[in-house]
A and B are shown apart, each in its own frame.
Chain A
């Protein structure tokens, strides 16, 4: 199912290079050059939002590489439980992070990034 245009416009405000992509029967948001919270290494990355339930999570945010979070975040706190997961013929990584269901796309991204602050 295509993403709702109003919601996608909100994502473009966070990440102007975002685009809608299809993987199988899922519609995803590819976030090129997603700006990460202050102190993260790298500061910007390629990411992929899976906005529907997957692996027991209501949504997942995959990163093209593991992110070192801001210094104030306990480095051990992030459980990178998805490593080199193949989606769209690229390898992606995600940490275990549950978000509330029924959120708008931009809110989902914000909630996932909250883990890195």
Chain B
């Protein structure tokens, strides 16, 4: 299984470049730098980081070819492979909607170019990418392997496109959510979901995703249910407590009871100990305790171009005052502002947590607050994959006031730095060297 991922910003940048008129060439080509991810795992990743433009002077006037480029353009791309240690994909555009295919001439000519990239550095992936107005298709030669179509293309952003050979669902079950869009159910079924933490928040999320029709899940939680979880863990029963059931198994049972054809991979470990499985997810829900774990999860998701939706709640009990219940839902998208940019993760809170020896403590948790936060996160996720609201904002930071029962944009968004995120540079995508 091979997945190719790129950001929506890079997709748009390529579209602009490939549509730029040329003095004589009928169409343009470009290159993108790519990095291998999840090396050694059966779920391989090819992650795009940057575009390389072909100079106007490097096109050859050839009436038989829409875009013929000279040796200088190819040598430049090969030199970049050597200098960067990254792979290279040839990119061109087919000006129509829906999933494009490589034409006969593309399949004959471009693989020769890819072969010269492989000869330049065979330790990194190389290949060819074709864009349409709203979709993409890629063939990639992973190190030591032949050039072949990838199984899935994911364009990260808002909307997020998940392009896979998923059969269109024929069930009437989702008729009442048809307003989400013509291809929405297909996208929903093609999206691999990761949920880190299957407690109060994660169990709500799993249940709602199953109702919506998501089919592919990776669940991470090493814990077994305890009596103190029953006030909020959706799907948990007294029998589970007696049997000390694993939280991931409770979630799996709940999902498959709703959708029997769902593919659920329950990981009985922390996500940190099953990194390959996390990287294989197209969208991750973070339902974890503590700031440091959020920092780690966001870092891993950014490295593998995975959008992360984080939820969390707390109740502050100060003597002499009424308890204050608060929470947050954050959408952290690769290439956009991160949890550090918005000030949610900062050195002060991380230091305070470390002073407690990394123990986030037994924070108060209640089912209704978990439910509101989970439902809000689900709303963001569905809009992310379906794009039904037309909202293109890549960062969401919503604040929950549990005392007033309301959710709204966090005040910190008003002070968001205008500069691009420097905490997670896109040139660090893929496996570390």
Interface residues of A (CB under 8 A from B): 21-25, 53-57, 79, 81-89, 91, 96
Contact with A23, one of B275, B299, B353, B431 (Cβ below 8 angstroms): B299
Chain A: CB-nearest residue to B279 = A89
Contact with A91, one of B273, B422, B425, B431 (Cβ below 8 angstroms): B273
**Across the interface, which residues of A come within 8 angstroms of B355, CB to CB?**
56
B415 interface hit (Cβ, 8 Å): no
Contact with B358, one of A25, A57, A83, A86 (Cβ below 8 angstroms): A83
Cβ of B271 to closest chain A Cβ, rounded Å: 9
Contact with B428, one of A22, A79, A84 (Cβ below 8 angstroms): A22
B333-361 CB contact bits vs A (8 Å, 1 = yes)? 00000000000000100111111011000
Interface residues of B (CB under 8 A from A): 270, 272-273, 275, 292, 296-297, 299-300, 302-303, 347, 350-355, 357-358, 422-425, 428, 431-433
Cβ of B149 to closest chain A Cβ, rounded Å: 27
A25 in contact with B422 given A82-B354, A82-B358, A89-B432 (CB within 8 Å):
yes
B354 touching A86, Cβ below 8 Å: no
**Across the interface, which residues of B come within 8 angstroms of A82, CB to CB?**
292, 354, 358
Cβ of B352 to closest chain A Cβ, rounded Å: 7
**Across the interface, which residues of B come within 8 angstroms of A96, CB to CB?**
354, 357
**Could you write out 8 A-B pairs with CB less than 8 Å apart?**
A22-B425, A24-B425, A56-B354, A83-B358, A84-B272, A84-B273, A86-B296, A86-B300
A24 touching B424, Cβ below 8 Å: yes
Q: For chain A, what secondary structure do more than half of its interface residues adopt (helix, strand, loop), or is it mixed?
A: strand
**Across the interface, which residues of A come within 8 angstroms of B357, CB to CB?**
79, 81, 96
Contact with A56, one of B299, B351, B433 (Cβ below 8 angstroms): B351
**Across the interface, which residues of B come within 8 angstroms of A24, CB to CB?**
299, 302, 423-425, 428
**Across the interface, which residues of A come within 8 angstroms of B297, CB to CB?**
86
Report how many A-B pairs have Cβ atoms within 8 Å: 64
CA distance A82 to B433 in the complex (A): 24
Contact with A84, one of B270, B350, B351, B354 (Cβ below 8 angstroms): B270
B423 touching A85, Cβ below 8 Å: no
A53 touching B272, Cβ below 8 Å: no
**Across the interface, which residues of A come within 8 angstroms of B428, CB to CB?**
22-24
Cβ of B315 to closest chain A Cβ, rounded Å: 24
CA distance A23 to B355 in the complex (A): 23
B299 touching A86, Cβ below 8 Å: yes
CA distance A84 to B350 in the complex (A): 16
Contact with A55, one of B270, B300, B351 (Cβ below 8 angstroms): B351
A89 in contact with B300 given A56-B350, A96-B357 (CB within 8 Å):
yes
Cβ of A23 to closest chain B Cβ, rounded Å: 7
**Across the interface, which residues of A come within 8 angstroms of B423, CB to CB?**
24-25
CA distance A93 to B138 in the complex (A): 40
A25 in contact with B432 given A53-B347, A86-B296, A91-B272 (CB within 8 Å):
no
Contact with B431, one of A55, A81, A87, A89 (Cβ below 8 angstroms): A89
B350 touching A55, Cβ below 8 Å: yes
Besides A22-B425, A88-B432, 4 more A-B contacts (Cβ < 8 Å) are A53-B347, A57-B354, A86-B300, A89-B432
**Across the interface, which residues of A come within 8 angstroms of B431, CB to CB?**
89
**Across the interface, which residues of A come within 8 angstroms of B352, CB to CB?**
56
Cβ of A89 to closest chain B Cβ, rounded Å: 5
**Across the interface, which residues of A come within 8 angstroms of B351, CB to CB?**
55-57
**Across the interface, which residues of A come within 8 angstroms of B353, CB to CB?**
55
Most buried by B among A22, A53, A56, A91: A56
**Across the interface, which residues of B come within 8 angstroms of A91, CB to CB?**
272-273
CA distance A57 to B424 in the complex (A): 22
CA distance A82 to B353 in the complex (A): 11
CA distance A91 to B358 in the complex (A): 15
The 9 closest A-B pairs by CB, nearest first: A56-B351, A55-B354, A86-B296, A81-B357, A88-B432, A86-B272, A81-B358, A24-B423, A25-B422
CA distance A96 to B275 in the complex (A): 26
A25 touching B425, Cβ below 8 Å: yes
Chain B: CB-nearest residue to A22 = B428
CA distance A86 to B297 in the complex (A): 8
**Across the interface, which residues of B come within 8 angstroms of A86, CB to CB?**
272, 275, 296-297, 299-300
Chain A: CB-nearest residue to B298 = A24
Chain B: CB-nearest residue to A89 = B432
Most buried by A among B273, B302, B357, B425: B357
CA distance A87 to B296 in the complex (A): 7
**Across the interface, which residues of B come within 8 angstroms of A56, CB to CB?**
347, 350-352, 354-355
CA distance A79 to B423 in the complex (A): 29
**Across the interface, which residues of B come within 8 angstroms of A54, CB to CB?**
347, 350
A89 in contact with B303 given A24-B428, A25-B425, A82-B354 (CB within 8 Å):
yes
Contact with B275, one of A53, A81, A89 (Cβ below 8 angstroms): A89
CA distance A56 to B352 in the complex (A): 7
Cβ of A47 to closest chain B Cβ, rounded Å: 15
CA distance A65 to B151 in the complex (A): 37
CA distance A103 to B303 in the complex (A): 31
